Structure 1
Amino acid sequence: MKLHVCVVGRLRAGPERDLIDDYLGRFDKTGRALGLGPVRVTEVEDKKGGGPTAEAALLRKALGPGAICVLDERGRTMTSPDFADAVARWRDQGTPEAHFMIGGADGLDPGFRAEADMALSFGAMVWPHMLARVMLAEQLYRAASILAGSPYHRA
C-alpha cells in the first residue's frame, strides 16, 4: 500500500525538513518488506487566500483512490500500536493508498473533515503544521517498526 502525505503550505529547508526526510527514508526501508510505501508528499498552497474551503479543494485534487486520514485536534487520539494496526488493516483490506491530510493555519474545512475515513489527533494541544508533519513522519516510521517487530518502539 502506498502512502501519501498531503499538506497545505510549503516547507523550506531546515531542521523540520531534515527530520521528515530522515523518518520517511527510514519508513521506506522498513515498510518495503511489509508491503508499505513508498511515501509521497504533496504540498498545496492557496495563493488567493481562500481559507480552509479553498485549501480543501486543492487537497481533494491531490487525492486518489484509498483511505483518507485527516490530522485534526478534534480527531481520535491513538497509541502508536493502535495507529500501526490501523495502517496494517488498510493494507490488509487491499486499500491502494492511505492519504494523510494536514491543513493550513486555520485547520481543515469541516466538510472535508467529514469525508475522511479517520480523524487523528496528536493530543489536545494545537501543533504548528510543520511540526505535525514531523510527528506524522515519525509515527509512520514507528508504525512500520512495530509491524516489523523492530525494537525501535519500546512500550
Structure 2
Amino acid sequence: MRLHICAAGRLRSGPEKSLIDDYLARFDRTGRALGLGPARVLEIEDKKNGGMAAEAALLRKALPKGAVICTLDERGKVISSPDFADKLAGWRDSGRQDLALIIGGADGIDPALRAEADFSISFGKMVWPHMLVRVMLAEQIYRAATILAGSPYHRV
C-alpha cells in the first residue's frame, strides 16, 4: 500500500524537511517487506488565497483515485502508535492500494473534505504547525512499520 502525505503549503529545505526525508527513507526500507510503501509527500499551494475550500479542491486533485482518506485534525481520534500500525495493516490487508494522509493549512481542513475522510487522527488537543505535523506523521509512519516488523524501535 502506497502512502501519500498530502499537505497544504510548501516546506522549504531545513531541519524539518531533513527529518521527514530521513523517516520516510527508513519507512521505505522497513515497509517494503511488509507490503507498505513507498511514501511520498504531495504538496499543494493555494496561490490565489482562496481559503479552506480552495485548498480542499487542490487537495482532492492530489488524492490518488480510490485512496483511503485519513485526515490529521484536532477533532480526530487520539490513538496509540500500535493502534496506528494496526490501522495501516488493516487497510493494507483489505486490499487498499493507496492511503492519503491529509494535512490542512493554517485554517485547518475544509469541513466538507473532513466529512469525506474514512478516518481522522489527532495528535492531541493542541494545534501544531503543519511543518511539525509532517515530521511527527513521518516518524509515526516509520514507527508503525517497525511495530509491524517486530523491531525494537518502539518500546512500551
Partner residue, 1:110: 111
Partner residue, 1:131: 132
TM-score for both structures, normalised by structure 1? 0.99
- 1:113-149 per-residue CA deviation (whole Å, 9 max, x = no partner) reads 0000001000000000000000000000000000000
What are structure 2's unaligned runs of at least 5 residues? none
Q: Secondary structure at the match of 1:21?
A: helix
Q: Which amino acid aligns with 1:133?
A: R
- Distance in 1, matches of 2:76 and 2:9, equals 21
Q: Secondary structure at the match of 1:33?
A: helix
Q: Which amino acid aligns with 1:38?
A: P
Partner residue, 1:58: 58
What are structure 1's unaligned runs of at least 5 residues? none
Q: Which amino acid aligns with 1:144?
A: A
Partner residue, 2:23: 23
- Distance in 1, matches of 2:121 and 2:51, equals 21
Partner residue, 1:152: 153
- Distance in 2, matches of 1:17 and 1:115, equals 28
Deviation of the 1:40 alpha carbon? 1.6
- Distance in 1, matches of 2:50 and 2:137, equals 26
Partner residue, 1:81: 82
Partner residue, 2:43: 43
* Stretches (4+) displaced over 6 A: none
- 1:27-61 per-residue CA deviation (whole Å, 9 max, x = no partner) reads 00000000000012110000000111000000000
Partner residue, 2:14: 14
TM-score for both structures, normalised by structure 2? 0.99
Size of the aligned set, in residue pairs, is 155
